Structure 1
């Protein structure tokens, strides 16, 4: 897969998401009601469309889920690649930027990330395969930074792949609890999670 970080000039900033109004409306309904609890009629109503009007753009509820999750993962990967490109090129620098990018993404795109992680069970096999391929690309970025850090002495980890999964899980969980009006600022969440992530990889 070719990465698309050209779309992201500032990986620390987030403008409007990549969703159409209809997909954004569907995202809200999915998050509130769950995929299986959501009807095409309820999505159409939230989007201000008739059911035939919605079907004109998306052939099924599964296609809507696919479109939302694909857009979400594409944006996350774009930010991650841009963050890596913006680093000083060292393993430690790449790792820190990748972690920060993931933390920022899961604060800014909470609903998108929540849907992508919790509704894997609802994806048809071909949709799930595409989602896993994008998720695996994200994991490879982290794992490569960790492995390179172990090689140059920056990190101490006997299990880089497992460490990469642990760091990813840590960042993904942010979408379930972070609130902009909560007690922690964005910078505080980033600082704490960078500290947690560095400890996971045994940063020197």
Structure 2
């Protein structure tokens, strides 16, 4: 697994005017000041655009936050799903690679992962429901793997649903303490958490190799 900068840009420019710049600026503002502390003016300034133009794209901070979190989960879901599909049929291999992908995402996009944990509380109504549904779709990948492994005897845990939730929580929590330049590289950190996950589901030692 190649190491990548934790400051990688989450939202690529797809040619839709200032949208990508606005969303990346919003993510930076939310990460630095929190949802309540950041202003639409901060976002406009960070995106290099006017406040009136910003409102042409997003009518409120909550719309901005919801879209940022949706884009972040889309990236996480895509990485995790791809890793699982390429891992083969064994549940242990699928779980290991899903965790590696999740932790890799958190390291690459630490601010997005942290904002997803800390700022979703400020969303409500349809916006919150959509973000939660997207988040649940990623968690479902882990739930399906662990349930399958428990069902066929690869995993010995009697609590597959709880184990899956714990694994997802463990991976997302990396965003709260990870520091670039620490003793573990991106790949080493992902591998360590993969081993934690396999131990949590009580996989045989062979699955930890």
TM-score by length of 2: 0.87
How many residue pairs align between the two structures? 195
In the alignment, does 2:63 pair up with 1:60? Answer: no
Instruction: Indicate conservation of the 8 Å contact 2:146/2:164, yes or no.
Output: yes
* CA deviation map 1:116-164 (0-9, x unaligned): 1111110122111111111111121111111111122211111111101
Please name the residue that 1:198 is paired with.
198
Please name the residue that 1:7 is paired with.
none
Q: Secondary structure at the match of 1:135?
A: helix
Tell me the C-alpha RMSD between the 2 structures: 1.9
In the alignment, does 2:124 pair up with 1:131? Answer: no
Q: Secondary structure at the match of 2:37?
A: coil
- The one of 5, 18, 26 equivalent to 2:11 is 18
Please name the residue that 1:4 is paired with.
none
Give 1:21-36 correspondences, 5 Å limit.
Answer: 21-36=21-36
* CA deviation map 1:52-104 (0-9, x unaligned): 01111111111111110110001111111111110112211211111111111
Please name the residue that 1:184 is paired with.
184
What is the alpha-carbon distance in structure 1 between the residues aligned to residue 61 and residue 38 of structure 2? 9
TM-score by length of 1: 0.89
- Detail structure 1 runs of 4+ shifted over 2 Å in the superposition: 12-19
Please name the residue that 1:5 is paired with.
none
Deviation of 1:105 after TM superposition, in Å, equals 0.8
Runs of 5+ in structure 2 lacking a partner?
A: 13-19, 205-209
